[in-house]
Structure 1
Amino acid sequence: MLRPDPEHVDLLILGAGWTSTFLIPLLEKHGIQYAATTSDGRNGTIPFRYEPESEDEGQFRRLPAAATVLITFPLKGRGQSSHLTKFYGKTHAGANPNYIQLGATSIWKGESWQDENSPYDAANPRAIAEDELMAVARGAVLDLAGLYGGARQPRNWVDRVVKSKAELKAKGALHLIHGKDVSRAIIALHRSFTPGKRWLLCDLHTYDWWDLVQDWAIQVVRDAEENPAQFEESQVARQKELLSWVGELMEEEGVRALPRDTPLLGRVLDGRAFWKHVGLWPSQGRVG
């Protein structure tokens, strides 16, 4: 870990999971001193398992003081944000860190354009904890669109979320953010912190599920025609079925071309404000 001073770091990552595979290399590139935790202390991390009912300060005492504490795991409901920040504060007198919580854009439910100032589901357990963090510690929240990058690719989600034509019909917009851009956003917020502010983070693209499913299916069918030995018959049949569903739905719903017009996609996300605030733009382009 890039931790020359074990007592103090610039950024403490509570929960070094998938996001950290992109974040840690970027921290090292920028020379940002960091420490990270995992539940079992693997790969040189600090063992830490957050237990919201525990009054034991021991786990927190193992953590270094930090200018910014990044919470990657979900806090839920009332009390957890207060509990975590209280115990970190008690065991790190004078540290006064900035807290960043990673959340999810699913708290916005409106069937139209949504941005960081739009009404959200205030009864959502994660939203409750985020609101509490902003209230008790003046924390900031990055609510993330669908995460992708590395082995996590949206085209691999299709079989899980589209098992029938009816499920495909119900699919509207998809919003994404690459792990590299999540990491850039975290560092940017660390450097240009916004106390008590919730942000909506996406890659500034609105994807149409029908359009993506059609495009990915065409790619597989075309590749299978050129290299049939590399594909199973059932795999090709599945892609042809998806293509048929898209075509049938376009006819049934009067959709003349893909991607569909925005009003037909339901909830759509406007993530411009965060990128404007930090003076950056997403780096990864459209998903393929």
Structure 2
Amino acid sequence: MDCFPQQLLNLVTGRSNAGNIKLTTELSQGPVDILALGSGWTWSFLGPAAGEAGLRTISTTRNGGNGTIPFTFDPESDDKTPFESLPDAKTVIVIFPLYSADAAKRLVNGYISTRSEAYSMTPFSEKAVDTSRARFILLGSTGIYGQGGPTLQNAPCNLSSADQSADTLFNQTLKKGSHQSPWFDRNSKIDDVPRSRGENAFLEFNQNKDAVQTSVLCLSGLWGHGRSLRRYVGRIAPTRERLAKLGSVHFIHGHDLARALLAMHDQWNKAAGQRWILTNERVYDLWDLISQWGNAGEDGRDHIPQGLQPIWVQELINESRKSKKESTRIRALPRTPEQLGYALDSSDFWSTFGLFPEVPWVD
């Protein structure tokens, strides 16, 4: 679900590019507040928001076009040359994923070792903005929680099966591993997958004697600026059988992602050394969304839901009544977190940084 056509991202290049061109000219005057390694969709929100906050910012792209800095990270290379052209920064935000411990170490060490003496040798100090060591934020994935599942999780009960099969599968899912509850928060056990190994190594920098301070922000489904799940209903639920397996999904709008990153930058003492989960504090039932939207995409807005998917949802609800267990009967949508089997709790982030989601819906 996180892969969207490139043309959707092109809708916003005007805003992000303008911000980069303006701010690049200021690099010779000193270090920047925020350096984003990577740009694209995330930068289309973060760039303008940081500019409005009066921060000096710059981002990178592979070719360096539109006012960005050319930069390519090779996770298997120890060559530090690509890092030499990057400016000193108070906060470095890593937008692209890191899939191994070695990749995390090469990125952080590559940047720190090519800094000016003040940035590479001076211990971190909140009181010395332009002479403190850079700190790092890595955009991670909530897919590391819960048996390696993606953002779109399978539902715990196959309601097209007989009563006994549905009840058995429901119970097995909740008992999988040692996690008895459908809820996962930032302190829950994570899966041992390439993405989590990279994130763990990234966080381990905080434990060193002369620590480089880092933080990881695990993101749920990204939406906004052309990204909309309603455009992909036919792809994720092409058949009744596929739809029956769909459970929960979580979202965060790009506007709130930018606010979250700026809050971490401004309140670094709270962010340092921590892994966070970021959603809009809602758990969405894919049956609920699909039955509202149908499969007409943008053309279906403000119209009766089109396609077979809403009919399939109703059939599955009717079939759930055959279950002998009250817990697997669907009486209304959305289904409960217990019926969905997977739910993310991001409330710790919002309460810690004194914020609330300003885009608390999905469309």
TM (norm. structure 2) is 0.72
Aligned: 1:129 with 2:198: yes
For the aligned residue pairs, the C-alpha RMSD in angstroms reads 1.8
3-state DSSP of counterpart to 1:94: helix
Match of 2:166 in 1: none
After the TM superposition, which of the residue ranges 212-221 and 196-205 deviates more from structure 2? 212-221
Match of 1:171 in 2: 246
**C-alpha offsets along residues 30-78 of structure 1, whole Å, 9 cap, x if unaligned?**
0111111001101100000101222332211100000100000001112
Sequence identity (%): 38
State how 1:157-168 maps to structure 2 within 5 Å: 157-168=232-243
Match of 1:75 in 2: 98
3-state DSSP of counterpart to 1:240: coil
Match of 1:9 in 2: 32
CA–CA separation in structure 2 for the residues paired with 1:88 and 1:67: 12
Runs of at least 5 residues in structure 2 that lack an aligned partner in the other structure:
1-19, 120-132, 148-173, 175-181, 206-211, 322-329
State how 1:40-51 maps to structure 2 within 5 Å: 40-51=63-74
Match of 1:36 in 2: 59
Cα shift at 1:195: 1.8
Code of the aligned partner of 2:96 = F
Match of 2:76 in 1: 53
TM (norm. structure 1) is 0.91
Contact 2:101 2:202 in 1 (8 A): no
3-state DSSP of counterpart to 2:40: coil
3-state DSSP of counterpart to 1:75: coil
Contact 1:68 1:98 in 2 (8 A): yes
Q: 1:115 aligns with which of 185, 190, 199?
A: 185
Match of 1:229 in 2: none
Task: List structure 1 runs of 4+ shifted beyond 3 angstroms.
Answer: 218-225
CA–CA separation in structure 1 for the residues paired with 2:301 and 2:349: 39
**Number of corresponding residues:** 275
Aligned: 1:209 with 2:286: yes
CA–CA separation in structure 1 for the residues paired with 2:187 and 2:139: 17
Match of 1:245 in 2: 312
Match of 2:138 in 1: 101
**C-alpha offsets along residues 83-105 of structure 1, whole Å, 9 cap, x if unaligned?**
11111111003322110000110
Runs of at least 5 residues in structure 1 that lack an aligned partner in the other structure:
226-235
Cα shift at 1:262: 1.9
CA–CA separation in structure 2 for the residues paired with 1:223 and 1:58: 53
Cα shift at 1:257: 1.1
CA–CA separation in structure 2 for the residues paired with 1:79 and 1:202: 28
3-state DSSP of counterpart to 1:53: coil
Code of the aligned partner of 1:267 = Y
After the TM superposition, which of the residue ranges 241-250 and 157-166 deviates more from structure 2? 157-166
Cα shift at 1:138: 3.3
Q: 1:90 aligns with which of 113, 116, 123?
A: 113
After the TM superposition, which of the residue ranges 188-197 and 59-68 deviates more from structure 2? 188-197
CA–CA separation in structure 2 for the residues paired with 1:223 and 1:60: 49
CA–CA separation in structure 1 for the residues paired with 2:143 and 2:227: 19
CA–CA separation in structure 1 for the residues paired with 2:53 and 2:338: 41
3-state DSSP of counterpart to 1:44: coil
Q: 2:356 aligns with which of 245, 260, 281?
A: 281
